[in-house]
Structure 1
Amino acid sequence: MFFRVLGNVIWIILGGWIYALEYFIGGLFMMITIVGIPFGFSLWRLAGLAFLPFGKDVDVERVTGCRVLLNVLWLFLFGWIIALTHVFFGILFFITIIGIPFGYQNFKLAKVALWPLGTTVRRAS
């Protein structure tokens, strides 16, 4: 419990709040169109994860139908660059031993950024 709180506090100080703010604003812009509403909700879920990532797990559910089409659209339009950014920062954090937990959180965010519809964020058990 202590390390989750400490990790989240350090994460916010080091710029996690910027990730969360970007995802929240992106979600607002997605809500403008009818097609973007599912992405908007997914980006808000991602914003919550980006703000306090320690102590949370991400599960990618099996998606079918329209969600697959929307996820593929997301992947080609936005997801690949967002995930690539998280992978880049994750690798940078992995350079030092102290940064390894923060790099892991970036890789977790990259997974959700690639395939946002059908992912669930839950408390780590």
Structure 2
Amino acid sequence: MVEIVRPNAQRIGALIQGTAGRSYVGFNMDLGIDPGVSRHGENARKSELMAEAGMLAHLALQSATSNAAKPLGEWESQGSLEVGKLADVVAVADNPIETSSLMRNVPCVMKAGAVVKAPRGLPSMR
């Protein structure tokens, strides 16, 4: 974490501790990348922390995936698996709602319908 950002992140963290489990009608929770707060590539840990703070596991996972399309104004074209929408898909070995740490090591990634990261034995389609 960048040292200049750490005090603010700790202050905000203390203020929101315990709020993740509350129900907010019409409230869209997105997981931000906050590059000054955590290292690049550690976003999966943030959804784990949200669940540890009381957010339902499936909502924490959605905050890191489909929810981002809404505030970007892109919900009509992406953000869910539906015919005609753009989608990036990841595959993990088990249920990420039950074991959120699975999202730290994703063995298979599809971007816009093409396999861009594949486990051994499955050909990549880059």
The TM-score bracket by the shorter chain reads under 0.3
TM-score (norm 1): 0.26
- Looking at both structures, which has the greater relative contact order when contacts are Cα pairs under 8 Å and sequence separation is at least 6? 1
Query: If each structure's helix is expressed as a fraction of its own residues, which one has the higher value?
Result: 1
